[in-house]
């Protein structure tokens, strides 16, 4: 498969426009026109992963963490990061990053953790706002209504979830008097005109406003088309947001839940750090992949019995416990986010697997390299 086509597929699942402003996602190295036969999935773009990709004869490595988060002026092989670039390019392998854009959506990192822990009724802990939408209302002569409606939907209006070409129409009367200098499509200068019209309503992504209005005006028969542009309220998106919250089918003590979690996350030198009464009952579980202490207050407000995340700092953790917040489980950053890799693999295999002639599609492998930086504990 062509690399550009494969990356378009991944970007569709994890749109780069949803990455944080400070993030660096997308193609790091590689030719978009190159063919991809074998993919390696990993969390960290480190030398050990690059060596694994070379040994696998992979054409692409997809990682979660960026190689150059703060930018660079050199990829010389005089630094570990530069060596990664040279190792991959020298062996015909590309590198692609999906980071914060892969944290929050359906099929993303936090949801992967929630499902691996066996939670149900899973939803974002802090939902993102939906993309802003407009409603555009056009008033069109009956005979031209379908043409104007089609022009707007062809420009991208009327797309709602898994539907397109959505619109609503009501009949009415348009009234106007053309004045001197007008060139009316209907009626005559100086005479009051009453025209049977249709009110056509469509919703559109606000980013498409200009294109939809241009299509409306171009298709409309009137010299001065009448239309309204209404900015719709921005609502929470139930499918996208920071962290996740859900419930256990069977409540258990914090001690039991921690043992359960230890069997879900890959083993690391850190293990699981826990704050809270071991006998506290746990039913509602909040979590966040990566460094999640920014959601401590949200987890408490949501009524979570336990909050699972990584990289918890002393003061926020202590203050949360003093304030009566949920029990805390701190899991190694790499271990938590690695639960996303099987989810990504399943999505890729489903899209790139065996074709209609049963030939083998693009191979997708999960890295077996542990890239957690901590190696032992005393």
d(CA 216, CA 227): 9
Give the pLDDT confidence score for residue 196 in this predicted structure: 96
Looking at the structure, do residues 78 and 199 belong to the same domain, yes or no?
no
Which range is least confidently modeled, 70-74, 193-197, 282-286, 367-371?
70-74
143 and 221 together in one domain = yes
Domain containing 300 equals 109-128+239-336
Residue 378 belongs to a domain: no
CA distances from 62 to 93, 316, 332 (A): 11, 33, 21
In a domain, 377, yes or no: no
Residue at which a domain ends, from 231, 259, 289: 231
pLDDT tens per residue, range 91-145: 999 999 999 999 999 999 999 999 999 999 999 999 999 889 999 999 999 999 9
**DSSP letter for each residue of 45-86:** --HHHHHHHHHHT-SEEEESS-S-SS--S---TTSHHHHHHH
pLDDT averaged over the chain? 95
**Final residue in a domain of this structure, among 231, 250, 285:** 231
Q: Are residues 63 and 202 in the same domain?
A: no
Share of residues in the chain with pLDDT > 90 (%): 94
Q: Is residue 357 predicted with pLDDT exceeding 70?
A: no
Confidence (pLDDT) at 161: 83
CATH number (domain holding residue 64): 3.40.1390.30
**Same-domain check for residues 138 and 220:** yes
Q: Are residues 150 and 287 in the same domain?
A: no
Domains: count for the chain: 3
User: Average of pLDDT values for 151-158?
Assistant: 97
pLDDT at 252 over 80: yes
Mean local confidence (pLDDT), 198-204: 97
Q: Is residue 373 part of a domain?
A: no
139 Rama class: left (phi>0) / alpha (psi -120 to 50) / beta: beta
* Residue 82 shares a structural domain with residue 66: yes
**pLDDT at residue 360, as a whole number:** 55
| b/e code 231-267 from CB counts within 10 Å (16+ = b) | eeeeeebebbbbbbbbbbeeeeebebbbeebeeebee
Higher local confidence (pLDDT), 343 or 354: 343
Residue 217 is encoded by which pair of tokens? 């005006």
The answer to whether position 360 is within a domain reads yes
User: What is the pLDDT averaged over residues 226-255?
Assistant: 96
Q: Quick check: is 27 in a domain?
A: yes
* Residue where one domain finishes, among candidates 210, 231, 252: 231
Same domain as 124, residue 263: yes
Q: Quick check: 356 pLDDT over 70?
A: no
Structural domain includes residue 299? yes
CATH code for position 171: 3.30.70.120
pLDDT at 289: 97
Interacting residues of 340 by C-beta distance below 8 A, sequence separation 6+: 64, 102, 108, 109, 112, 113, 289
- Containing H/E element for 153? helix 145-154
Q: Using pLDDT thresholds of 50, 70 and 90, give the confidence band for residue 71.
A: confident
Q: Say which residue, 3 or 361, is predicted with more confidence.
A: 3
Q: Is there a domain that residue 113 lies in? A: yes
Q: What is the DSSP string of 155-212?
A: TTTT-BTTB-S--EEEEEEEEE-PPTT---SSS-TTS-EEEEEEEEEEEEEGGGHHHH
How far is 40 from 44, CA to CA, in rounded Å? 12
- Residue 245 tokens read as 């919250």
Q: Are 277 and 247 part of one and the same domain?
A: yes
For residues 154-159, give the mean pLDDT: 96
- Same-domain check for residues 297 and 164: no
Q: Are residues 161 and 196 in the same domain?
A: yes
Whether 254 and 114 map to the same domain: the answer is yes
Which among 141, 220, 222, 134 is positioned nearest to 174, based on CA atoms?
141
What are 285-343's pLDDT values in tens digits?
999 999 999 999 999 999 999 999 999 999 999 999 999 999 999 999 999 999 999 99
Cα maximum dimension of the chain: 93
Q: CB neighbours (10 Å) of residue 33?
A: 8
Does the residue 376 lie in any domain? no
In this predicted model, what pLDDT tens digit does every residue of 1-55 receive, in sequence order? 999 999 999 999 999 999 999 999 999 999 999 999 999 999 999 999 999 999 9
Is residue 147 domain-shared with residue 295, that is, in the same domain?
no
């Amino acid at each position: 498969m062509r690399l550009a086509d494969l990356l378009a597929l991944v970007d569709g699942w994890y749109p780069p426009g949803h990455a944080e402003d400070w993030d660096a996602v997308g193609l790091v190295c590689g030719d978009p026109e190159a063919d991809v036969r074998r993919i390696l999935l990993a969390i960290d773009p480190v030398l050990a992963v690059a060596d694994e990709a070379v040994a696998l004869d992979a054409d692409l490595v997809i990682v979660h963490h960026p190689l150059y988060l703060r930018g660079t002026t050199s990829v010389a092989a005089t630094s570990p990061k530069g060596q990664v670039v040279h190792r991959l390019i020298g062996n015909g392998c590309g590198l692609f990053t999906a980071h914060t854009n892969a944290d929050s959506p359906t099929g993303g990192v936090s949801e992967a953790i929630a499902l691996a822990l066996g939670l149900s009724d899973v939803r974002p802990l802090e939902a993102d706002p939906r993309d802003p939408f407009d409603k555009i209302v056009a008033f069109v002569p009956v005979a031209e209504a379908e043409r104007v409606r089609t022009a707007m939907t062809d420009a991208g209006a009327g797309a709602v979830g898994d539907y397109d070409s959505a619109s609503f129409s009501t009949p009415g009367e348009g009234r106007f008097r053309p004045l001197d200098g007008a060139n009316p499509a209907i009626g005559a200068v100086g005479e009051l005109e009453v025209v049977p019209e249709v009110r056509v309503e469509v919703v559109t992504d606000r980013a498409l406003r200009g294109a939809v209005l241009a299509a409306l005006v171009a298709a409309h028969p009137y010299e001065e088309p009448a239309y309204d542009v209404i900015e719709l309220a921005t609502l929470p998106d139930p499918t996208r947001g920071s962290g996740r919250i859900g419930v256990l089918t069977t409540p258990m003590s914090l001690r039991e839940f921690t043992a359960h979690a230890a069997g879900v996350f890959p083993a690391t030198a850190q293990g699981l750090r826990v704050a809270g009464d071991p006998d506290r009952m746990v039913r509602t579980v909040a979590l966040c992949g990566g460094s999640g202490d920014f959601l401590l207050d949200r987890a408490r407000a949501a009524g979570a019995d336990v909050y699972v995340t990584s990289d918890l700092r002393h003061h926020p953790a202590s203050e949360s416990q003093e304030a009566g917040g949920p029990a805390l489980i701190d899991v190694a950053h790499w271990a938590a986010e690695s639960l996303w890799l099987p989810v990504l693999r399943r999505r890729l295999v489903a899209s790139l697997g065996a074709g209609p002639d049963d030939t083998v599609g693009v191979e997708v492998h999960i890295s077996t390299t542990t890239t957690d930086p901590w190696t032992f504990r005393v």
